[in-house]
Chains A and B, each alone.
Chain A
């Protein structure tokens, strides 16, 4: 049974999938569907956020997520400011909260934050009146990525309920895997996590997923195969022996993809390590929807800002 969309987002922030209800998730997906057509207009702009200020506070390197947010903000006619960790007051030792207080003095309506530590957006949301959108915090959550992934799955399968979704790679360090598990679990899909146990978190069943330590058995009947980037910088040479071995046992190759359902799609949040977790023949193959994910990311981020702005203007007219 499809989930009925909520009328509005309950909170002023989107800090994680864990704090969204199924109805709110459906609302964001429906809104993104409507906003997708903005990208097809000759003038790709709507006035929804005219006069609003959005600060993109990126304390960790990011290209695609930051660009995706920026495009979304500009298409909604917001004024945007970019703040990145290097070359800023952060590298001069300023705390997150002082940075936030200084930014608040400029009265932004939204702060999009990416932070290397879990929970930073949640803490920030408690101390500033602006709406906080989490663009990835530590190993915790990346809610907009999970929403755009779900949106992409919906485009291909018409819904999420009953889908069998394989997520494979460095699960232990992956906020994408976690947000996807929370979202897909709430919407009635089956999630299978695949990694050698050295790359799985302890008690992973807590996330409502079925864990596998080999890729092949997990692929059976899968509708979606999502490969995660092996974050080379996080491995410290202890989690698995070599890239070659990782590819040999855990990469998605055309042979392994043949084990999945015939209609299966291949996803990757990027950036890819070709020849490590994914074979180029799969990444560039007919079942890859990797670039659709990027397009959909803009629509999802527009939808979140649009919905949060609605809440903000209601709050303003109430008072």
Chain B
């Protein structure tokens, strides 16, 4: 029997309301015991977590792994290496591969490839519409049977309100959420950054907050009409969060996420970076008032999950001028330190709430295993060093991509080890296996 004893850590588990020094014994990939001064029960691998935080494994609801078909940006293997190095034990992979994950054969491929790689767990998100073209509904049930945990046309919105209504209704039969990228493309009108004072000053075409807000309003109303499960991807505006508050007060099956960069970086930062396309994301980096509103919504529980919104781009794609370059920034290896640095050390929320937002709630929202350290749960754990102070070094990333605006930024609080199914798949300062 394979055993791992994690000793002397500060165990933080929102599912049991735990925050105290404890040991955790793992046997055969599951949590066998949790308590003070546990006996190693014979031969065990020991992980000394003194001075470190031990939490249920962090789950990223929003990652683009780009395989099949877009391997020049990222592969399932490189993406999973990045995930575990960034403290994530599981990632949900968006369907915008080539071919699109709109078919159970693609869903199974992603599952099987991730199992072969054997690092992070990968949960495929299927497409809402065939080819993500926004016209005909994809085979939702077949994809769920093959392992999809949600459906989404991310990074595109579903323009057709009737299709979106129908998929909210149809997905109820399979009890999965429909995840929505909320953007009215007519209102975005080809813009490349947040529309406001800064876009007016630096002369880039803007994307107004209303482009997101009108779609959030539409889809919350459709969730109410249909009783479907709606998950709103990477929200970026204060009004969208107010609309979520209304929807939640009405008791809808509604959840939402924010990307970690969205409450740290602003359009003013973008402006001072001088038209560098690594700052171009969708939704765009908003103003500081929106970032403040996001932190308020994190504090008051309006937001369910913090995600990486990891969107890899090849160097050649970003070597263009700002308007021409594609949207997207990577986040798997920076989301956790960004969140600890800004939210925990910045005293927005406590550690318990952070673990809830990066593990327990994401598991609940997408109905995934994990998110808890209860005995019998899968032994997926994220170990954190809250005191580690390091600069972001893109050259050391496991991801194939380098499209981050965070190079050189010093952050306090980094992952120290990642355990998936009882195996230490990554540990700070140690060379990765094979």
Using a CB–CB cutoff of 8 Å, the interface residues on chain A facing chain B are 18, 95-97, 115-120, 122-123, 126, 137-141, 175, 178, 201-204, 206-207
Contacts and interface: CB of A to CB of B under 8 A. Distances in A.
Pick from A18, A115, A117 the residue with the most CB of B within 10 Å.
A117
A161 B366 CA distance: 63
Given A117-B324, A119-B275, A202-B196, A140 B319 contact: no
Interface string B36-76: 00000000000000000000000000000000000000000
Contacts of B205: 118, 139
Contacts of B208: 202
25 contacts: A18-B201, A95-B316, A95-B320, A96-B321, A116-B323, A117-B324, A118-B205, A118-B275, A118-B321, A119-B274, A119-B323, A122-B274, A123-B274, A123-B275, A126-B274, A138-B203, A139-B203, A140-B203, A140-B204, A178-B203, A201-B206, A202-B199, A203-B197, A204-B200, A207-B201
Contact of B323 (A97, A138, A175, A206): A138
Contacts of A118: 202-205, 275, 321-323
A202 B276 CA distance: 23
A123 to B, nearest CB: 5
B206 A202 contact: yes
B304 interface: no
Interface of B: 195-206, 208, 274-276, 316, 319-324
Contact of B319 (A97, A115, A119): A97
B145 to A, nearest CB: 42
B28 to A, nearest CB: 53
A97 B195 CA distance: 27
B261 to A, nearest CB: 20
B196 A203 contact: yes
B142 to A, nearest CB: 39
A207 B200 contact: yes
Contacts of A96: 320-321
Contacts of A137: 203
Contacts of B196: 202-203
A115 B202 CA distance: 15
A206 B321 contact: no
Contacts of A141: 203
A206 B201 CA distance: 7
A141 B203 CA distance: 7
Contacts of A120: 275, 321
A118 B198 CA distance: 13
Nearest to A119: B275
A141 B202 CA distance: 9
Given A119-B274, A119-B275, A123-B275, A203 B200 contact: yes
Contacts of B197: 203, 206
A100 to B, nearest CB: 11
A314 B197 CA distance: 39
Nearest to A207: B200
Given A139-B203, A206-B201, 15 more contacts: A97-B319, A117-B322, A118-B204, A118-B205, A123-B322, A138-B203, A138-B204, A140-B204, A175-B203, A202-B200, A203-B197, A203-B200, A204-B200, A206-B197, A206-B198
Contacts of A206: 197-198, 200-201
A175 B197 CA distance: 16
A40 to B, nearest CB: 37
Nearest to B274: A122
Given A202-B195, A204-B200, A207-B200, A123 B206 contact: no
Contacts of A175: 203
A236 B196 CA distance: 22
A119 B321 contact: yes
Contacts of B276: 123
Q: Which 9 A-B pairs have the closest CB atoms?
A: A140-B203, A119-B275, A117-B323, A120-B321, A206-B197, A203-B197, A117-B321, A201-B200, A118-B203
A116 B316 CA distance: 20
Nearest to A141: B203
Nearest to A59: B321
B274 A95 contact: no
A110 B350 CA distance: 56
A119 B200 contact: no
Nearest to A139: B203
Contacts of A138: 203-204, 323
Query: Which of B195, B274, B323 has the most C-beta atoms of chain A within 10 angstroms of its own C-beta?
Result: B323
Contacts of B321: 96, 115, 117-120, 123
A104 to B, nearest CB: 15
Contacts of B274: 119, 122-123, 126
B308 to A, nearest CB: 27
A69 B323 CA distance: 26
Contacts of A139: 203-205
B202 to A, nearest CB: 7
Nearest to B320: A95
Best-surrounded residue of B199, B203, B275 (most CB of chain A within 10 A) = B203
A95 B324 CA distance: 10
A103 to B, nearest CB: 16
A235 to B, nearest CB: 12
Contacts of A126: 274
Residue of A116, A120, A201, A206 with highest tally of chain B CB at under 10 A: A201
A175 B200 CA distance: 11
B127 to A, nearest CB: 29
Nearest to B208: A202
A119 B198 CA distance: 14
B199 A119 contact: no
Contacts of A178: 203
B275 A122 contact: yes
A17 to B, nearest CB: 11
